[in-house]
């Protein structure tokens, strides 16, 4: 069978960023779509997930190899199989795949996963995927949350934070979000059932936290690192758990902040546990997480907050803005539909 | 019954230290021994335990109230009951008690614990007490050590470190000590069965660690905090555990070092766990620890290393020296015998 190649368009890393990420670090190029071999599928990207982690991949080796200049920016997508040379995934199937930032991705059929279209398909990126799994395993497994405890989450209006807060509420905890603006905080309280919020620009963050958490914090879900982590160490209760999920405050810095004072002193006196995790370590339990998340979506206790940006060419700006906290909820780029 | 008060001598805090601890922060005074009430005993101190933690108590509130000027320096002791008004502890009983730094302590009979004299009585301070329990619960519970793993311990020739290393060896782990001199390191290897050591004054600590631990470290038992902790974060293997026991490098500093770079970034990418603990949280399991420690002492697999200093007046200097790493093993002051 001849392959009628659609015209592909993709976003590549044009220059390795040092300091703040900017438009000129990216380049959009038109190329031919890679022809599929036996077993491959060609996927047309519908929705692209924008994730802060992409910034860390540009920096150095993390839990994956460093992204090199010329590489397509990696990213998860919901896509439609438009050409199939893999029997089990016929053309027309809607799949979750790691397409990267491009219109057409040619991938092994074994690397794409058909998705259930009984929920709006964006939910397969905003909730029933990495973001939701990160919130679920971070809060319940790493954080070992118990009902009645107080949880604080930073970047609380972000994709992960807005889910962490809702899961904490569902689990019977008290939940306070740290956010970049009062508007975001109000949204968390009014729409997502947070018990309160603290604006990270407060003149005295420590005392604002004390007011919001008069009984201290038992679990801190840390998406930002830096000075907020240092302040939270002082707000933690005895035997508190700090879930180290990310350090978004540091991703764009040429010289990272020094580590938080209070490590290890406060860890000892308060018997604190800090633990980092990568969601992929829980891959064997993704079905468990999805079953729970799906149930909560269906019964309305979990609200998906999606922040839609239009067009592949907007993806670089969408990531740059995300790192500065311009999003509310999960940022998705609509590439086609 | 009339109480014939022996003359007491005690060491009190004369001035709150700021920066390095020095002789003039202490004062020795002669006072009358406090008369015992019903239920009390008067204990004559034989051996006094010298512990780095005493420095932290002078600084501020930790897991106990801050020590105030005029207070007797607290400390554990093995002592002889010389006057008893408590039926269950007759005069002549040898007890473990918190006498503090003084010749005679008057204590409730319920606060002293008779010790088994089938082992040399100093073992009740050097191994079968706080120091041994700290090593045991820190390594096995907090560190969750598994056979075949590599353990690194700092202040390895100190009271706790020298036990941590031996317990790790007994548990089938590979054990590397970080020490302040090559002589100390040689002692650990030759007498205590450590697999190797690293001198903390090495010009390139990171590369010295890499040589000593070619397969990285799975557990780091941290007694010092500061720059060594920062370096160890880089030497840790995936899913490593850092046992936060103390931060001796910081106790004498007016302005603490900034926290370790790599928190939280390296915790995330390597899925590390850092956890602080206070041994008293394990009080309900001290019998378990003592049974194991006693068995290993008896069969010769565990060697008690005791560093004896003579005379109560030497106690301040013994603590000052300990903070600078002048001791090898458990430092004890012989007050009487």
Distance CA A53, CA A251 (A): 9
Q: Which residues of B touch A269 (CB under 8 A)?
A: 62-63, 276, 278
Cross-chain Cβ contact B278/A271 below 8 Å: yes
Residue A315 confidence class, pLDDT cut points 50, 70, 90: very high
Would you call B267 an interface residue with chain A, using a CB distance cutoff of 8 Å? yes
Phi, psi angle pair for B101, to nearest 5°: -85, 75
Residues of B in contact with A264 (CB under 8 A): 222, 225, 229, 242, 244, 247, 274, 276
Q: Which of B244, B267, B268 sits opposite A264 (nearest CB)?
A: B244
Domain that holds residue B260: 130-280
- Cα distances from A39 to residues A33, A43, A77, A113, B258, in angstroms, run 16, 13, 20, 14, 54
Residue with tokens 């839990």: A63
Task: Identify all chain B residues contacting A274, using CB atoms and an 8 Å cutoff.
Answer: 263-264, 267, 273-275
B267 and A276 in contact by Cβ < 8 A? yes
CB contact under 8 A, B276 and A256: no
Domain identity same for B101 and B141 = no
Q: Do A225 and B269 touch (CB under 8 A)?
A: no
Residues B267 and B175 in one domain: yes
Which contiguous run of DSSP H or E holds residue A161? helix A159-170
Chain B CB contacts of A231 below 8 Å: none
Does one domain contain both A146 and A114?
A: no
Tokens (6 digits) for B285: 């399991």
**Residue B250 contacts A where some CB pair is shorter than 8 Å:** yes
Same domain? For A231 and A311 the reply is: no
Q: Is B263 on the interface with A (CB under 8 A)?
A: yes
Which candidate, B96, B118, B49, places its Cα nearest to that of B295? B118
- Within 10 angstroms of residue A17's Cβ, the number of other Cβ atoms is 19
- Is the pLDDT at A63 greater than 80? The verdict is no
In a domain, B300, yes or no: no
Whether residue B36 lies within 8 A of chain A, CB to CB, comes out as no
> Is residue B269 within 8 angstroms of chain A, CB to CB?
yes
Put simply, whether A263 touches B (Cβ < 8 Å) is yes
Q: Are B163 and B263 within one domain?
A: yes
Q: What is the largest CA-CA distance in chain B?
A: 69
Taking a C-beta distance cutoff of 8 angstroms, is the pair B337, B46 a contact?
Answer: yes
Domain count along chain B: 2
Q: Per-residue pLDDT for A30 more than 60?
A: yes
Strand order in the sheet with B217-222: A196-199, A174-179, A150-153, A217-222, A236-244, A273-276, B273-276, B236-244, B217-222, B150-153, B174-179, B196-199
Contacts of A260 in chain B (CB under 8 A): 259, 263
Cβ within 8 Å, pair A273-B275: yes
Q: In terms of CA atoms, which chain A residue is nearest residue B223?
A: A264
B34-51: per-residue pLDDT in tens?
999 999 999 999 999 999
**Could you tell me which of B329, B238, B297, B253 has the C-alpha nearest to residue B49?**
B329
Same domain, B183 and B135: yes
For an interface test with A, which of B276, B277, B278, B282 has the most A Cβ atoms less than 10 Å from its Cβ? B276
How many residues are there in chain A?
337
- What is the least distance, in Å, from the CA of B178 to any CA of chain A? 18
Q: Quick check: B268 contacting A, CB < 8 Å?
A: yes
Q: Is residue A298 part of a domain?
A: no
One domain for residues A94 and A149: no
Kindly report the average pLDDT of chain B as a whole number.
Answer: 95
Contact list in B for residue A220 (CB cut-off 8 A) is none
Give just the sign of the alpha carbon dihedral B51, B55, B56, B60: positive
Mean pLDDT of B98-102: 97
What pLDDT is attached to residue B254? 76
Confidence of residue A2 (pLDDT cuts 50, 70, 90): low
CATH number for the domain that contains residue A82: 3.90.180.10
Q: DSSP per residue over B246-308, as a string? A: --TTTTT-SSPPPBPTTTTHHHHHTT-EEEE--GGGGGGGHHHHHHHHHHHHHTTSS---EEE
Does A130 contact B at CB distance below 8 Å? no
Would B65 be classed as within a structural domain? yes
Calpha distance B88→A34 (Å, rounded): 87
HSE, CB side, 13 Å, CA atoms: give it for residue A210.
Answer: 6
Q: Looking at the structure, do residues B151 and B263 belong to the same domain, yes or no?
A: yes
Q: How far apart are CA B127 and CA B130, in angstroms?
A: 8
Looking at residue A158, the DSSP 8-state letter turns out to be B
Average pLDDT of the segment spanning A120-143: 97
Check CB contact under 8 Å for B62 and A256. Answer: no
- Of residues A278, A223, A231, the one with CA closest to residue A247: A223
Three-state SS sequence of A212-226: HCCCCEEEEEECCCH
CB contact under 8 A, A264 and B225: yes
pLDDT at B251 over 90: no
Contact check, Cβ <8 Å, B275/A276: no
Nearest CA to B95 out of B103, B82, B85 is that of: B82
Mean pLDDT confidence for A94-120: 96
pLDDT at B73: 97
Q: Kindly state whether residues B164 and B56 are assigned to the same domain.
A: no
pLDDT at B131 over 70: yes
Average pLDDT over residues A202-208: 96
Nearest CA in chain B to A266: B276
Which residue do the tokens 């060419």 mark?
A313
- In a domain, residue A285? The reply is no
Q: Which of A261, A268, A271 sits opposite B256 (nearest CB)?
A: A261
Tell me, yes or no, whether A159 lies in a domain: yes
The confidence band for B151, taking pLDDT boundaries of 50, 70 and 90, is very high
pLDDT band at B255 (very low <50, low <70, confident <90, very high): confident
Q: Please name the residue of chain A whose CA is at the shortest distance from the CA of residue B261.
A: A259
Indicate yes or no: CB of B246 within 8 angstroms of CB of A268.
yes
pLDDT mean across residues, chain A? 95
Assess contact for A173 and A196: CB atoms under 8 A: no
| Lowest-confidence pick of A23-32, A202-211, A247-256, B236-245 | A247-256
pLDDT band at A57 (very low <50, low <70, confident <90, very high): very high
Q: Which chain B residues are closer than 8 Å to A230 by Cβ? A: 259
Q: Which residues of B touch A250 (CB under 8 A)?
A: 265
How far is it, in rounded angstroms, from Cα B241 to Cα B173?
14
pLDDT band at B93 (very low <50, low <70, confident <90, very high): very high
Q: What is the ipTM of this complex?
A: 0.90
My answer on whether B237 and B166 are in the same domain is yes
Distances (CA, A) of B200 to A241, B188, B292, B324: 31, 15, 31, 13
Q: Which string of DSSP letters, residue by residue, matches B87-105?
A: TTS-TT-EEEE---SBSEE
- Asked if A23 and A307 touch (Cβ cutoff 8 Å), the reply is no
| Cβ neighbours for A15, distance < 8 A, ≥ 6 positions apart | A24, A25, A69
Mind listing the pLDDT tens digit for each residue in A264-314? 999 999 999 999 999 999 999 999 999 999 999 999 999 999 999 999 999
Q: Do A157 and A187 meet the contact criterion of CB atoms below 8 Å apart?
A: yes
The yes-or-no verdict on residue A154 having pLDDT over 60 is yes
Which residues between 279 and 318 in chain B have a beta carbon less than 8 angstroms from any beta carbon of chain A?
A: 281
pLDDT of res. A254 = 76
Query: Is the separation of the CB atoms in A43 and A102 below 8 Å?
Result: no
Tell me the pLDDT tens digit for each residue of B157-171. 999 999 999 999 999
Please identify among residues 193-222 of chain A the ones whose CB lies closer than 8 Å to any CB of chain B: 222
Instruction: Report chain B residues whose CB lies below 8 A from the CB of A272.
Output: 275-276
| A120 and A142 share one domain | no
In chain A, the percentage of residues whose pLDDT exceeds 70 is 99
Distance of CA A279 to the CA centre of its chain: 10
Provide the pLDDT for residue A159. Answer: 97
Evaluate whether B201 touches B192 at the Cβ level (below 8 Å): no
Q: Find out whether B219 and B139 touch, Cβ atoms under 8 Å.
A: yes
Q: Tell me whether residue A297 is in a domain.
A: no
A79 within domain boundaries: yes
Q: Are residues B112 and B141 in the same domain?
A: no
Distance between CA A322 and CA A327 in Å, rounded? 6
Is A137 contained in some domain? yes
Per-residue pLDDT at A34 exceeds 90 = yes
Instruction: Mark which residues 63-102 of B lie under 8 Å from A by CB.
Output: 63
Q: How many CB atoms lie under 10 A from the CB of residue A313? A: 13
Residue B202 pLDDT > 60: yes
The Cα of A245 is separated from the nearest Cα of chain B by a number of Å equal to 6
Answer yes or no: do A261 and B266 touch at CB < 8 A.
no
B105 in contact with A at a CB cutoff of 8 Å?
no
CATH number at residue A205: 3.40.50.720
B247 touches chain A (CB under 8 A): yes
As a whole number, mean pLDDT of residues B203-223 equals 97
- pLDDT at site B6: 79
Q: Read off the pLDDT of residues B273-325 as tens digits, 9 standing for 90 and up.
A: 999 999 999 999 999 999 999 999 999 999 999 999 999 999 999 999 999 99
What pLDDT score does B2 carry?
Answer: 61
The mean per-residue pLDDT over the stretch A184-210 comes to 97
């Amino acid at each position: 069978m001849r392959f009628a190649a659609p015209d592909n368009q993709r976003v590549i890393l044009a220059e390795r960023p040092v300091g703040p990420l900017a438009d000129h670090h990216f380049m959009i190029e038109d190329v031919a779509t890679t022809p599929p071999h036996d077993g491959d599928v060609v996927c047309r990207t519908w929705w692209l997930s924008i994730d802060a982690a992409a910034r860390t991949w540009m920096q150095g080796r993390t839990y994956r190899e460093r992204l090199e200049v010329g590489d397509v920016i990696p990213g998860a997508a919901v896509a439609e199989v438009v050409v199939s040379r893999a029997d089990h995934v016929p053309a027309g199937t809607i799949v979750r795949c790691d397409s990267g930032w491009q219109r057409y991705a040619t991938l092994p059929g074994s690397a794409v996963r058909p998705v259930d279209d009984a929920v709006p398909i964006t939910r397969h990126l905003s909730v029933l995927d990495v973001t939701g799994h990160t919130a679920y395993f971070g809060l319940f497994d790493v954080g070992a949350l118990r009902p009645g405890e107080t949880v604080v989450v930073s970047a609380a209006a972000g994709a992960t934070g807005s889910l962490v807060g809702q899961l904490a509420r569902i689990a019977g905890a008290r939940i306070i979000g740290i956010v970049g603006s009062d508007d975001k905080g109000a949204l968390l309280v009014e729409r997502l059932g947070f018990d309160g919020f603290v604006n990270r620009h407060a003149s005295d963050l420590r005392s604002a936290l004390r007011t919001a958490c008069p009984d201290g914090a038992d679990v801190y879900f840390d998406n930002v690192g830096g000075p907020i982590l240092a302040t939270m160490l002082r707000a933690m209760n005895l035997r508190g758990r700090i879930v180290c999920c990310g350090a978004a405050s540091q991703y764009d810095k040429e010289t990272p902040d020094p580590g938080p004072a209070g490590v290890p002193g406060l860890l000892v006196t308060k018997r604190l546990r800090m633990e980092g995790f990568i969601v992929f370590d829980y891959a064997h339990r993704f079905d468990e997480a999805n079953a729970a998340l799906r149930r909560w979506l269906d019964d309305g206790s979990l609200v998906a907050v999606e922040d839609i940006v239009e067009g592949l060419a907007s993806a670089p700006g969408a990531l740059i803005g995300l790192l500065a906290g311009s999003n509310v909820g999960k940022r998705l780029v609509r590439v086609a539909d």
